[in-house]
Amino acid sequence: MDKTNVPETTAMKDFLALIKIGIVNSNLITVFTGMWLAFVMNDVPFMANLDTIFFTLLGSAFIIAGSASLNNYIDRDIDPLMERTKSRPTVTGKISYSKVLILGLALVIIGSALLFLTTFTAGVIGIVGILSYVVIYSMWSKRRHVSNTVVGSISGAMPPLIGWAAVDPTLDVLAWMLFLIMFIWQPPHFYALAMKRSEEYGKAGIPMLPTVKGFAVTKRHMFVWTLLLLPLPFFMMDLGLAFFTLATILNIGWVTLAITGFKAKDDLKWAKNMFVYSLQYLTIMFVAMVIVTVI
């Protein structure tokens, strides 16, 4: 990148961009929800386990931040080609590649150690999440296969499992429903983003579904993924009728929006609506899980 065009940033801003702080924060919400539900469903006192809460949240934050840093290191050759990534500190040169690698490895190692201080299962799930994101997704599938988004969804669905396992390593059915919600949610969410950035992904050589198969095929895939969410509330009845009703309404709303895409005159406007709905969907769902167990 031309140094004259490098935006002015602070060291803290560069650090937060490197670890993708937005992703860290959003994932911590799902970690906390999984942990909270495990406390409630197993009648484990919340305030008596503040050490577990601390190790789980900090450990999760570290492995997510470390994995994001390693992803930036791996993608340092293609990030300059995309508008949304060309201002990353690994592209602007604000942080050297060696420092990024060291920071990423240090964070995932420390984060994993913190998770093992809760339960062995939580630590193992954390490591599986790191390997699936850094190795299987970032180093392998992202640049080779159109199914890269689905592969990447595995690691993205790990946070609530980590939270639950830190309290209850046996992993109840409800824990796996949290995993499935996160796993199924990601393809329509990221396909909507990929539709907007289709040309950029093509320029960078990343085989995203909209770039390789086109918008029509992508719409069909998004519709099917939203359909897969419909049965999940039936396996979450432990959270009560209010949550079941809310989740079902949200699911039907997303399916309906997906259907409108087949006749949409403006594909990018529809994709933006799908993207915004996905963000609201996930936030409402996970916050609601906590609320219904409190009131």
Q: What is the pLDDT of residues 180-236, one digit of tens each?
A: 999 999 999 999 999 999 888 888 889 999 999 999 999 999 999 999 999 999 999
pLDDT at 1: 47
Q: Whole-angstrom Cα distance, residue 87 to residue 79?
A: 8
CATH number of 1-170: 1.10.357.140
Joined together, the tokens standing for residue 240 give: 């009560």
Which residue do the tokens 């305030």 mark? 47
Instruction: Name the residue among 88, 68, 78 with its Cα closest to residue 202.
Output: 78
Q: Whole-angstrom Cα distance, residue 136 to residue 154?
A: 10
Q: What is the pLDDT of residues 139-193, one digit of tens each?
A: 999 999 999 999 999 999 999 999 999 999 999 999 999 999 999 999 999 999 9
pTM metric for this prediction? 0.92
Buried residues in 80-89 as b, exposed as e (16+ CB within 10 A): bbbeebebbb
Domain-by-domain residue ranges, the chain? 1-170, 172-295
Q: Whole-angstrom Cα distance, residue 222 to residue 150?
A: 12
Q: Reply yes or no on whether the pLDDT at 287 is more than 70.
A: yes
CB distance 225 to 153 below 8 Å: no
Please give the backbone phi and psi of residue 207, each rounded to the nearest 5 degrees, phi first.
-80, 65
